[in-house]
Structure 1
Amino acid sequence: MKWSLNELRQVGGQPIEVDEILQLEDALKKRRPDIIGASKAHVHGLFSVDELGVLGYLQVNITLILPSTRSLEPVTLNLDFDLTEHYISHHEHDLSYFEDTDVVIVLKNDILDLDKVIEDNILLQIPMQVLTTAEKRADFEMPTGRDWNVISESQLKKIQEEKTELDPRFAKLQDFFSENSEE
């Protein structure tokens, strides 16, 4: 679904309601080849036009199938998120009207492509670490091999804390320089 900024401005003060089912699986796989599968995306929300441009409030719901980042087993990931973005013309150069926290998208050729907007935001919502239900459990045994093993962050912190503890054999030497500097 595409709109030009001029089309949206002609609507006037009335918000444009959106309730669409988008088939984005092929586009998502093209941009991120590790995606195994994707359901149709349900997009519900509205666009409102003001003097600054177009403001979109959208809710997106989609289910993705991705490989586990640890074992490569398929994981079903349900994404349900909201997004609020401002869309402005590529002719607009003054962004001082917007807050630092506002998401402002400059539209190429002044065309708002809903599919592209939703694709971008779905890809942004995919977490860095995708784990199966079993891998999320605390008692899950991490993969190991010959002369290597995978450890959790908590195990790594514990190892680092142990390394910072002073060897008792060197405890007397700890204050060696502080005593000599007083003389």
Structure 2
Amino acid sequence: MKFDDVLDLKAALMDRYPDEVLDVTPVHISGLASVETGGDVMLVAHIKATLTVPSTRSLAPVTLPVEFDITEFYIASQAGLNRYEKTDVVMVVTDDVIDVDKAIADNLLLQIPMQVLTPEEEATGVLPEGQGWTVSIEGEADPEAETTQTVDPRLAKLKNFFDSDDSKKD
């Protein structure tokens, strides 16, 4: 069965994920649902929407267009899992109902990257700072912090632990 439809998932997404999704346009979905051997249902869909999500740096709204494809299999019981590869997306159907809206909403949420920045934040690269605090990017060294590194006095005695241990073995 082929389909080409527009879904309004705004309320569902904003209710389930109020901190991650600020707004969503109507979701265009097109694809095919077919019954496979053994009664399994295969859903292949192309999804297109625009999400508004908070910036991970400033929480300012960021418009995020998403367009992606999904392939999911729906089976009646866990016994059918052995028919599929570990890389296949297989869902066990409960109450004989496949909730396509929930599947699309979940996949939309998975499209949000870990780091979302406004165009201004991307262009300037300036990180926010305040009195006594700064924001740093994980993996980037702060040269000032490296030079002012102090040793916890309780652990100072351990500094030469391995040196003295090696001399005893000789």
TM bucket (normalised to shorter chain) is 0.7 to 0.9
Alpha-carbon separation, structure 1, partners of 2:74 and 2:166: 67
TM-score by length of 2: 0.79
Q: State the aligned residue count.
A: 158
Aligned partner of 1:78 in structure 2 is: 65
Alpha-carbon separation, structure 2, partners of 1:96 and 1:151: 46
Unaligned runs of 5+ residues in structure 2 are 150-159
Aligned partner of 2:91 in structure 1 is: 105
Q: State the percentage of identical aligned residues.
A: 40
> Contact 1:19–1:44 (CA<8 Å) still a contact in 2?
yes
| Aligned Cα root-mean-square deviation (Å) | 2.8
Summarize the alignment of residues 95-174 of structure 1 with structure 2, pairs less than 5 Å apart: 95-137=81-123, 139-156=124-141
Aligned partner of 1:40 in structure 2 is: 26
Give the match's secondary structure for 2:103: helix
Alpha-carbon separation, structure 1, partners of 2:56 and 2:18: 14
Give the match's secondary structure for 2:98: strand
Runs of 4+ in 1 over 3 A off after TM superposition: 156-164, 176-183
The one of 15, 26, 30 equivalent to 1:30 is 15
Alpha-carbon separation, structure 2, partners of 1:157 and 1:77: 31
Aligned partner of 1:88 in structure 2 is: 75
* Residue 45 of structure 2 is aligned to residue 54 of structure 1: no
1:182 positional shift: 7.9
Cα shift readout 1:7-48 (whole Å, capped 9, x = no counterpart): xxxxxxxxx111110011011100111322110001011112
TM-score by length of 1: 0.74
Alpha-carbon separation, structure 2, partners of 1:82 and 1:163: 50
Structure with greater contact order relative to length (CA < 8 Å, sep ≥ 6): 1
1:179 positional shift: 8.7
Name the aligned partner's letter for residue 29 of structure 2. Answer: V
